[in-house]
Amino acid sequence: MKLTISTQFQEYLKSLGIDITLLLQKAEVPNKLWQEEINLTTLEYYRLLQEFDKVMSEENIRSLSQISNIQMFIPAFFAALSAPHGTEAIERFSRFKKIIGPIKLDVIKTNNTISVTFKFAHPNMELPKFAVLNEQLFLLSLIRTGSGEKVIPLIVESPFDYDEKTVEEFGIQIQKGDINRIVFDIDDVEKPFLTQNNIMWKYLEPELNKQLAEQINEQSFAAFVQQELYSAIPSGFFLVEDIANSLGVSTRTLQRNLSAENTSFKQELQAVQKAMAFSYLKMKLPTEEISSLIGYSDVNAFIRAFKKWTGMTLTAYKKSHNL
């Protein structure tokens, strides 16, 4: 996928004390900021989210999530703002969100409410606090900017603690829970948008549909393999034969396609296991449980693999990251 990081946005991050060049380096993402556009795999995007999570304060996130502070033109945002009301804005944003990054919106609408939950594109990969809070606040900013009113959600739920000023921004006490969600009264989100712009929408919709189609066509074979691995590893059926079968190709074809992209099944498997391990460590799961969840029947084999991945023992890594 392509991530646009304009010079303006780089300067904005710098004003917050964020060195995007350093974050890209730590996330092991090739630095092509001079192009103002970076091609990312899903795993690279997730690593970048984790690096942002380490350096972004809640004050910074509150600033970043305000539409008025966004320093670059992102068509999906403006397509949502040009909607006739909040319900349609949420639908448009949910539809085109994948152009911006691999975070999905699960939208549940009833007669009285509309609920939105944010999830990473791959299962078993929990969004860090930075991503959850940024998405919740951005959606709230979208509804408030469009309607011109300080809409207060009915429910804001998060697995993370938020500071007092963030709670004030939401205007409601936060429910601590295993999931993240923000729930609005249907009457609030169906108020007419002051920002409605049918002319802009007619211009944006064909371009956004084109970008969606291009993204699907440009997805690498390795990305499809990774997607299957995220689902297969916890089940225990993740041999190369299992993944080839789920993709409807022979083992030889799978290996040949990966080789054409300068990778291998072993490399992709280890990359996914490593990303899953880091995610579960942040959830503070026991070592034995993490080992099992990422496909290691022998916990000692997992510990050895972890040291090979990071150059650190598991104990040292936990201590250095306060886990």
More confident residue, 20 or 213: 20
Highest mean pLDDT among 47-51, 180-184, 197-201: 180-184
Residue 71 above 50 pLDDT? no
Domain extents for the chain?
57-213, 221-320
Residue 316 above 70 pLDDT? yes
- DSSP character string of 131-167: HHHHHHHHHHHHHHHHHTS----SEEEESS---HHHH
- CA-CA distance, 168 to 270, in Å (whole number)? 43
pLDDT value at residue 101? 83
Confidence class of residue 72 from pLDDT cuts 50, 70 and 90? low
- CA-CA distance, 99 to 209, in Å (whole number)? 10
Confidence class of residue 216 from pLDDT cuts 50, 70 and 90? low
Residue 151 above 90 pLDDT? yes
- Rounded to the nearest integer, the mean pLDDT of the chain is 88
- CA-CA distance, 280 to 205, in Å (whole number)? 38
The answer to whether 186 and 107 are in contact (CB under 8 A) is no
Please report, rounded to a whole number, the percentage of residues in the chain having pLDDT higher than 90.
50
Structure-token pair, residue 154: 């009915």
- Ranking 28-32, 76-80, 217-221, 304-308 by mean pLDDT, the lowest is 217-221
Confidence class of residue 178 from pLDDT cuts 50, 70 and 90? confident
Residues with Cβ within 8 Å of 244's Cβ and at least 6 positions away in sequence, in order, are 250, 251, 253, 254
Mean of pLDDT values over 125-148: 94
What single letter denotes the amino acid at residue 14? K
| For the chain, counts of helices (H) and of strands (E) | 17, 7
Residue 236 above 90 pLDDT? no
The answer to whether 261 and 222 are in contact (CB under 8 A) is yes
DSSP assigned state of 120: E
Mean of pLDDT values over 181-205: 94
The enclosing H or E element of 181 equals strand 181-185
CATH, range 221-320: 1.10.10.60
Confidence class of residue 112 from pLDDT cuts 50, 70 and 90? very high
pLDDT value at residue 164? 96
pLDDT value at residue 170? 97
Any idea which residue has 């059926």 for tokens?
237
